[in-house]
Chain A
Amino acid sequence: MINAIVFGLVGLGMLFAIIRLIKGPTVADRVVTLDTFNVITIGLISLLAFKFENSLFLDVALVYAILAFMETIVFGRYLEGKHGDR
C-alpha cells in the first residue's frame, strides 16, 4: 500500500520532468530538467532498497549521485562554451 502510493508520486514527478525534457524550448531547459530528473532517480533507487530490503541499492544510489553530479558539471561546461566567443 505505502509502496504503491510513494512509487506513484515519484513516478508522476518523473513523468512531468520527462514532458519538460521533451518540450523544452532551449538546450538549457533540457539540461536543467535532466538535473532534476537525476535527483528523482536517486530517490527512486533508494526506494528500491526500501522495497527489497537490501542495502546494496543504497550503494548504487550513492554511485549514481556522484555520476549525476559529474554529468551536471560537464553539461554546464558544454553549455557555457557553446556560443563560442567566451
Chain B
Amino acid sequence: MEIVSQVLLVIGGLFFLLGGLGVLRMPDVFNRIQAGTKATTLGAFALLLGIGFMYPTWFLKVGIIIVFIAISNPIGSSVLAKASYKAQGAPSNVVQDDLKEFLGGTEDVG
C-alpha cells in the first residue's frame, strides 16, 4: 500500500510540474488554459488518491475533494476562456471561428 501511495504522490507532483511548465511555455491564452487545466486536474487526482491510499480512513474526505475538483476546475477554465475571448478576441492564426457570430465581433486588441 505504501508503494502505491508513494508512486501516486510522485505522479501527482510530476503532473503539477507539467501544469506549471505548460502555463509557462504555451504560446497563447487558450493553449495555456488547456495545458494548465488538464495537467493540474490529473495531478490533483493522483496526489489525493495517493494520500487516500496512505491513510484509508480519510478516503471519503479525499473523495469529496476529488469530486469537487472534477466539477469545478473545467467550469472555471470555460469561464476564463469565454472571458478571454471577449476581452481580447481570437488569436491571429485561427482557421475557423464559429464563436464570433455567437459572442459578437470584438476587435483584436491582444
Direct touching of A and B (C-beta under 8 Å): yes
Q: Which A residues have a C-beta under 8 Å from some C-beta of B?
A: 2, 5-10, 12-17, 19-20, 26-29, 31-33, 35-36, 39-40, 42-43, 46-47, 49-50, 53, 55, 58-59, 61-62, 65-66, 69, 72-73, 75-77, 79-80, 82-83, 86
B65 touches A (CB below 8 Å): yes
Q: B55 to A36, Cβ gap below 8 A?
A: no
**B55 / chain A contacts, CB cutoff of 8 Å:** 50, 53, 55
Task: With A6-B13, A79-B86, A80-B82 as known contacts, state yes or no: A39 contacts B44, CB within 8 Å.
Answer: yes
Task: With A49-B51, A83-B106 as known contacts, state yes or no: A27 contacts B20, CB within 8 Å.
Answer: no
**A12 / chain B contacts, CB cutoff of 8 Å:** 17, 20
Known: A16-B21, A35-B36. 10 other contacts (CB 8 A): A14-B16, A17-B19, A17-B20, A17-B24, A26-B87, A32-B29, A32-B36, A40-B40, A58-B51, A79-B83
Q: B44 to A43, Cβ gap below 8 A?
A: yes
| Interface of B: prevailing SS | helix
Q: B84 to A32, Cβ gap below 8 A?
A: yes
Q: A43 to B47, Cβ gap below 8 A?
A: yes
In order of increasing CB-CB distance, the 4 nearest A-B pairs are: A9-B13, A16-B20, A13-B20, A36-B36
Q: How many A-B residue pairs have CB under 8 A?
A: 173
Q: Which of A14, A65, A72, A73 contacts B69 (CB 8 A)?
A: A65
Q: B23 to A16, Cβ gap below 8 A?
A: yes
**B10 / chain A contacts, CB cutoff of 8 Å:** 2, 5-6, 9
What is the CA–CA distance of A72 and B75 in the complex, to the nearest angstrom? Answer: 9
Q: A29 to B32, Cβ gap below 8 A?
A: yes
Residues of B1-36 whose CB lies within 8 A of A = 6, 9-10, 12-14, 16-21, 23-24, 29, 32-33, 36
**A59 / chain B contacts, CB cutoff of 8 Å:** 61
